[in-house]
Chain A
């Protein structure tokens, strides 16, 4: 049956092209935001299609972040961001067990390193309270030392945010994607949207895989958000990717910290953070560097050295620890502070853009917002009974297969990834699309040796089973 039968346009004027797929809703972009929306709309029974340009999901901004679950204590008051961060936080807490997602309950400390910063602490507490994060409080230097004995004694005091925590940046969106698939959604990878027309009631999107028809399109294209937006309208926002570089220290360094150490924030960014990771490392970053390139996030030695020096300044003991990994991520920043979320019911287009530096947390909240809008706009949109799709645990604070599984056959020795974990990541409804995807699903090759011991074996296992 042709999906092109639209009463307003004579059939003989239409191109004779069949769409390769069609759905009530197509989401452009498989970052954490796209994945969370995909999940929400799939649970709502809309059978969405998610299209992702890269070989695998999570190849954009969502590839490299700090993996903090934010409370919104420092978010701009009355912003969409604050609302989404807090809704996202609550939903993450509610569903994490069912999806087997980790939570490292670290809390955070905004540390003042000089008198000027110290003077700003009370305002941080006040803002937090106005934002509804009422357990935030200032703590004395002695209390800080008790909590963080390895922190430099230059610290003058801190604000404690008990609710800021650490999560796994990849397993969460992966779990959302899996749940969306379980509810009848589809994910098309290596599918870049290159254009589209609204034809009365339907969008016809041109993609590198062929045309895709949709009643509604959701733009969640991250660092390409303004370019994708131009398919529908002149984009009201312009993306200038803001790069953040990181240094990850080897696991033994993680014993030097308990809480997330945040700086007193400036206007531009949240500043350099030191925290543990869910995988048991210690991370220092990110920087905030504007750039034009939307896909390449390069590291540079001078900056990495500065980050290491900064880390040692905060935590002198770090000097004895070695670097495991270096990476950089690109924040989809716009000229505006707040998220760029808009619903154009007439043109059947939803914009979810400029989700700059809190999207990992806010994604579920953003998805709720989009989902509510669909429920209002369309009849019969009703949640199905959720099907839970727990993902394999990669976090260090809970048992991993190498310890639980009889026959644990370790392939990646540094991260202790077993053969069966790798096999599992290469199979199932959303197998790894490329090496990066395999690493994000299992952590293989991501440890201190960076593949010295295991890369050839990982490749042999993945041979012919990855898209690239």
Chain B
């Protein structure tokens, strides 16, 4: 038997939960949300430190507290736990398994909100042995905040994206000071306060321009080899935390019929958050890897509005008029699938550069620059801009270009 509803939300993190709540507010009463864990909230569930909720609740709260608030707000929706989506079929048919065994769900609109995860050691192709004690922040946090355990005493932290500071806070929670933060680039990736927090707040040495070249230890980590530009040096430690390098959780999308964008590594979407099959929408970190929870929460809400528009047949049913192409040092741009008419709202682009650049960012439609501005951008910062409707009266080719000055 197939369970049918208007909307099916997959994933109960900030994006999925805010979408569920917004849908109720907009009068959709038969949405179903499936979450594979035994609790709602997604990543914030195990971010035991503060840093969430300013936008959503007007005050800063801890991850678990935030997760609980989001879950409370979504109450009233048919929320089902321990339900794992397994397969996405054309036309909004989703195969799942859960406490009652395999079940099929079908909806006019399926919202994909699977989130993102950090790149593990394997996909980073890090040399050395493969002992226990090498893990991502996500795993560390679950050890610490969900199970009250810390797998090591003297770890090193690899990477300095914002999430590395979440790692520091997590370690501090169990009274552990890592030996060092190791960053390949010449400066810390996260914004300046990060450096400050690390140096003064924690006294953790930050080794920039340093490469992790090897992991040592047969059963447990006993050390690492690093290179600070002077050849290899050994450093004793008992754990390695690999932070950042987030990528969308596309486990179900890659084998499905949905188009994936090589830049974001998430599903390609149109300005209405629809995927290449209009029965599917995407929200949150699913779209492109990590942003703040607040940003994902807002996307969930925005998707809810688009879902309503789709249910009311207000969105174009045809294939998009153009696919965005990129030129210059751009990591990604979304939406990727463009229509010339964008009813209800201007076209909102989001992008990131692939390296630090100063220069000009332009949108070129059918050979004409329709919009441009000067940028000075870093890879870790989001760039967003709106393109008023009139600029897209016709379009066959849309390209987003960065000319480095």
Contacts and interface: CB of A to CB of B under 8 A. Distances in A.
A403 interface: yes
A60 B13 CA distance: 41
A455 B122 contact: no
B117 interface: yes
A455 B123 contact: no
A257 interface: no
Interface string A293-324: 00111111100110000000000000011111
Contacts of B151: 459
Contacts of A402: 84, 97
A409 B121 contact: no
B110 to A, nearest CB: 18
Contact of B139 (A300, A325, A404, A456): A456
Given A295-B218, A408-B101, A452-B120, A460 B136 contact: no
Interface residues of B, number: 42
A435 to B, nearest CB: 6
Contact of B36 (A297, A410, A460): A410
Interface in A247-298: 248, 250-252, 255, 295-298
Contacts of B102: 403
Contacts of A320: 262
B125 interface: yes
B100 A406 contact: yes
A108 B293 CA distance: 48
B149 A456 contact: yes
Contacts of B142: 453, 455-457
Contact of A305 (B123, B125, B138, B219): B125
B118 A435 contact: no
Closest 3 CB pairs of A and B: A456-B142, A450-B120, A300-B127
B342 interface: no
A448 B251 CA distance: 8
B147 interface: yes
B130 A299 contact: yes
Contact of B123 (A322, A403, A404): A322
A405 interface: yes
A455 B99 contact: no
Contact of A304 (B125, B132, B138): B125
B1 to A, nearest CB: 15
B123 A252 contact: no
A254 to B, nearest CB: 9
B175 interface: no
B98 A408 contact: yes
Contacts of A414: 251
B316 interface: no
A452 B146 CA distance: 13
A315 to B, nearest CB: 16
Contact of B127 (A301, A449, A456): A301
A416 B84 CA distance: 9
A468 interface: yes
A407 interface: yes
A452 B117 contact: yes
B218 A408 contact: no
A450 B125 CA distance: 13
A347 interface: no
Nearest to B38: A409
B308 interface: no
A440 B142 CA distance: 23
Contacts of A434: 219
Contacts of A298: 127-129, 214
Contact of B101 (A255, A407, A451): A407
B126 interface: yes
Given A304-B125, A325-B122, A468-B219, A456 B99 contact: no
The interface centre, meaning the residue of A406, A414, A450, A460 with most chain B CB atoms within 10 A of its CB, is A450
A410 B251 contact: no
Given A250-B254, A251-B255, A409-B82, A323 B135 contact: no
Contacts of A295: 218
A456 B143 contact: yes
8 contacts: A301-B125, A323-B123, A416-B84, A453-B138, A453-B139, A455-B143, A456-B143, A460-B147
Interface residues on A, range: 35 or more
A390 B102 CA distance: 24
A405 B100 CA distance: 8
A150 interface: no
Interface in A385-435: 402-410, 413-414, 416, 434-435
B248 to A, nearest CB: 11
Contacts of B84: 402, 410, 413, 416
A326 interface: yes
A261 B289 CA distance: 35
A356 B82 CA distance: 45
Interface in B195-219: 213-214, 218-219
A301 to B, nearest CB: 5
Interface in A19-75: none
Contacts of B136: 450-452
B118 to A, nearest CB: 6
Contacts of B218: 295-296
Interface in A353-401: none
A327 interface: yes
B254 A451 contact: no
A98 B214 CA distance: 44
A413 B36 CA distance: 8
A450 B367 CA distance: 45
B101 A252 contact: no
Given A324-B123, A409-B82, 5 more contacts: A297-B129, A408-B98, A408-B101, A413-B84, A457-B146
B139 A452 contact: yes
Contacts of A448: 120, 251
B147 A459 contact: yes
A462 to B, nearest CB: 12
Contacts of A297: 129
Contacts of B130: 299, 326-327
Contacts of B219: 434, 468
B255 to A, nearest CB: 4
Contacts of A327: 130
A128 B161 CA distance: 56
Nearest to A447: B251
Contact of B254 (A252, A296, A455, A457): A252
Given A408-B97, A448-B251, A453-B117, A299 B143 contact: no
Contacts of A451: 120, 135-136, 139
Contacts of A250: 251, 254
Interface in A228-252: 248, 250-252
A294 to B, nearest CB: 11
Nearest to B102: A403
A464 to B, nearest CB: 12
The interface centre, meaning the residue of B117, B122, B128, B142 with most chain A CB atoms within 10 A of its CB, is B122
Contacts of A326: 122, 125, 130
A450 B117 CA distance: 11
A136 B251 CA distance: 38
A459 B143 CA distance: 9
A317 to B, nearest CB: 12
Interface string B250-279: 010011000000100000000000000000
A452 B242 CA distance: 11
